[in-house]
Structure 1
Amino acid sequence: MTDTLTKLAYQTFQQGKSYFGVAHKALSTQLEQLAVGKRDNEIFPLSPDVVERIYNSLNQIIETDWNDAETGIYPVETLFDNSWGDFFQYYPLVWLDLPKIWDRVRNKQYQSFDSQIDLNDYPKYYRQNFHHQTNGYLSDLSANLYDVQVDILFNGAADAMRRRILAPLKQGLSHFAEVPPSQIRVLDVATGTGRTLRFLRSMLPKAALFGTDLSPAYLRKANQLLSQLPGELPQLCQANAEDLPYGNEQFHGVSCVFTFHELPGPARQNVIDQCYRVLKPGGTFVICDSIQKDDDPHLNPLLHNFQTTFHEPYHRSYSEDDMTARLERSGFVEIATQLHFMSKYWVAHKPA
């Protein structure tokens, strides 16, 4: 009975986030049309069948999320890990930031940064207003708003999508059964605000966790959020994922979430090569990112609309990229893929 009530509470919790996301997007879209003008000629209308497929897949990922918790992949409490304090503090700022976003959209400003932000230490492809965000990923405001914005984008399912890396990673770590839990080392590449590291900590309470990101602002946010957790604080490091600051064969598992669609092709390969280099033989690498073209042809109009609406200069290239071939080029074997809601996953292994 308790499990049934907990599951119902989780489903209600997720449905509430989903309805909120839909309501926010509907209202902001109407206001954007007033501020920027309609772009109907660039947007494909979604048929009722496609909308139904989207909501069916949303319900499926919520069910999968619950099942993984119920079977012990991670604690059930993880399902309710939501930073309500951040939400209520920063959601009003999402609205206050929208006029700036609409202004950049109207004026086609895609590389606009405040003068005090030094761009010299960042690769050219990173100097973008991804999602039309103010100052891209290089300000504390961006870091504070990111999780709220992404959860709205995915109708409240962003964390459920992130958590889909946990089961294959835990299965991969079982190959190191002789290693004490406190000596297991897991790296999250491009960790952002540390949401994935939070979920890794809930699954691996004794493991040594590491995270890298290129943005010092996002690392400050990650340190703030992760310091709230019990146990050892994950070790965070500012680094370009194309040049990870670790020796060869240091980690039993590596994850990378929502990153590859924001990289040009050569950088994608470099990051995969680096993840292979730092992974121990027999280790597991799990990627979570956007679905790709023709994973579900019915959803291609949705991908088109995403690429049209948001500033994602490398998403079209990513959506047609053969990521499995890239993983094989680096040396990975036993590569499997999964689809959950709007995300795609690659689970790859370094030969033992």
Structure 2
Amino acid sequence: MPDTLTKLTYQTFQQGKNYFGLAHKILSTRLMNLVSPTEIQSRPIAPDTLLKIQQRLNQLLETDWQDAEQGIYPESLLFDNPWDEFFLYYPAVWLDLPQIWQRAKQKQHQDFPPDINTEGYPNYYVRNFHHQTGGYFSDFSAKLYDLQVEILFGGTADPMRRRILAPLKQGLQAFANVPPHQVRILDVACGTGRTLKLIRAALPEASLFGTDLSPAYLRKANQLLSQNPGELPQLLQANAEELPYLDNYFHATTCVFLFHELPGPVRQKVIDQCFRVTQPGGVFVICDSIQVSDSPDMIPVMESFHETFHEPFYKHYMTDNLVERLEKAGFQNVTTQTHFMSKVFVAHKPA
């Protein structure tokens, strides 16, 4: 069980990541204003809002610590960070900034290198979310993604992702009579595999599955997950609007940081699909951005987010009623909780 010294080390570790992300954003913003002024500027955040953000951050880290202390996942996850890749790819992040600034300034939201084939993908997906080079289509983007997200959230991306683990394990108690290795969990829009890696640490015997639209991100996920001895990643390229699985196949389904990047009608289709493939009595856990209904004090941050980082469907997501959408699909006993800048939805399929 983690001790007091470990907790202090963890807090220092997370504060270091937070300061790193903050320093990067300050330096890159000043450089951008110096060499490539752009019309898109981050709005200044009021001091009282900054204080609330810090309070939310402290609460997130405390919850993260408590979950490890209670054995929901191993202590090692608290310090898990791909430092080797971060140091390797950090220079590339800086070298890529001029392209990002130019793309943001000229509002080139569908700017892709000529070697990238975007045919057959949904129109809402064919864009440079976050102004990132290659969108979700390139190996270059997949390599930089985790580092970019950690910088964006000040080193809190994984602590926010880990908030799905407690409700996930609790939801699986309905299948206590199922041998652990026969428990099937699907992570929809698994991206680079970070969430699946966290689930594996919390549930070492479960059978894990992942889908994503991007072959490049699936390659990165396969590389990440294959680092675990004996791991055989079961990953498929698939559109979450039409999941290639049998009805009632998974004991649990998860989805992290997807819904704010979907148009409203597509959110409903994805939720309907997750309901279809989840077993009766199973649980569906979503982690995504906070919303106006639960975090009205964070409206200044939310309002600037979709403009600054090119999230074209985020403004609609801010006020979308996902609880209503989940219930429309057939889920029951839907609960929500907020952690820092994230919101967790826990929905149950009737037994």
Q: TM-score range by the shorter chain?
A: over 0.9
Match of 2:157 in 1: 158
Deviations 1:51-92 (A, max 9, x none): 011011111101100100110101111111111111011111
Gaps of 5+ in 1: none
Indicate whether 1:174 and 2:167 are aligned: no
Identity of aligned residues (%): 64
After superposing on structure 2, the runs of 4+ consecutive aligned residues of structure 1 that deviate more than 3 Å are: none
Name the count of aligned residue pairs: 351
Asked whether the 8 Å contact 1:205–1:231 carries over to 2, the reply is no
| 1:2–1:347 CA distance, 2 compared to 1 (3 A) | closer
1:254–1:285 CA contact under 8 A, matched in 2: yes
Instruction: Please give the per-residue CA displacement for 1:128-155, whole angstroms capped at 9, x wherever unaligned.
Output: 1000000100000100000000001101
Note if 1:239 corresponds to 2:264. Answer: no
Q: Which moved more, 1:281-290 or 1:291-300?
A: 291-300
Letter in 2 for 1:221: K
TM-score (norm 2): 0.98
Is 1:103 the counterpart of 2:102 in the alignment?
yes
Residue range with higher mean Cα deviation, 294-303 or 118-127: 294-303
Within a 5 Å distance, the mapping from 1:28-47 to structure 2 comes to 28-37=28-37, 39=39, 43-47=42-46
Moved more, 114-123 or 142-151: 114-123
Residue 202 (structure 1) aligns with: 201
| 1:211-222 → structure 2 map (5 Å cutoff) | 211-222=210-221
Residue 23 (structure 1) aligns with: 23
Give the distance between the partners of 1:44 and 1:206, measured in 2 at CA.
Answer: 46
**Residues 134-177 of structure 1: per-residue CA shift (max 9 Å, x gap):** 01000001000000000011010000000000000000001100
Report the CA distance between 1:34 and its aligned residue: 2.6
Task: Give, as a single letter, the amino acid of the residue that structure 2 aligns with 1:77.
Answer: S
Cα RMSD after superposing both structures: 1.3
Q: Distance in 1 between matches of 2:312 and 2:234?
A: 31
CA deviation profile, 1:233-283 (whole Å, cap 9, x unmatched): 231110001011100001001000000000001110110000000000000
> Is the contact made by 1:335 and 1:349 (CA closer than 8 Å) also made in structure 2?
yes
Deviation at 1:45, TM superposition (A): 2.4
Retained in 2: the 8 A contact 1:253–1:284? Answer: yes
Residues 258, 290 of structure 1: 8 Å contact kept? yes
Q: Is the 8 A contact 1:36 1:105 kept in 2?
A: no
Question: Post-superposition shift, 1:43?
Answer: 4.7
CA distance in 2, matches of 1:212, 1:91: 27
Q: Contact (CA 8 Å) 1:185, 1:252: kept in 2 or not?
A: yes
SS at structure 2 position matched to 1:135 = coil
Instruction: Give 5+ residue unaligned stretches, structure 2.
Output: none
1:27 partner amino acid: L
SS in 2 for 1:86: helix
Secondary structure of 2:292's partner?
coil
Equivalent residue letter for 1:46: I
Distance (whole Å) between structure 2 residues aligned to residue 249 and residue 178 of structure 1 = 17
SS at match of 1:110: coil
TM-score normalised over the length of structure 1 = 0.97
Q: Residue in 2 aligned with 1:81?
A: 80
Partner of 2:306: 307
Partner in structure 2 of residue 117 of structure 1: 116
For residues 16-75 of structure 1, what are the alpha-carbon distances to aligned partners after superposition, in whole Å with 9 as ceiling and x for unaligned? 0000011001111112223442658x6542111110110111111011001001101011
Could you say if the C-alpha distance between residues 81 and 43 of structure 1 is closer, same or farther in structure 2, counting changes exceeding 3 Å? closer
Note the C-alpha offset of 1:294.
Answer: 3.9
Counterparts of 1:43 and 1:228, CA distance in 2? 38
| Cα separation, partners in 2 of 1:109 and 1:88, compared to 1, 3 Å | same
Match of 1:6 in 2: 6
- Offset of residue 308 of structure 1: 1.7
1:189-222: per-residue Cα shift (whole Å, max 9, x none)? Answer: 0000000000000011011000000000000000
Q: Distance in 1 between matches of 2:211 and 2:2?
A: 39
SS, match of residue 97 in structure 2: helix
Instruction: Letter of the 1:30 partner, please give it.
Output: R
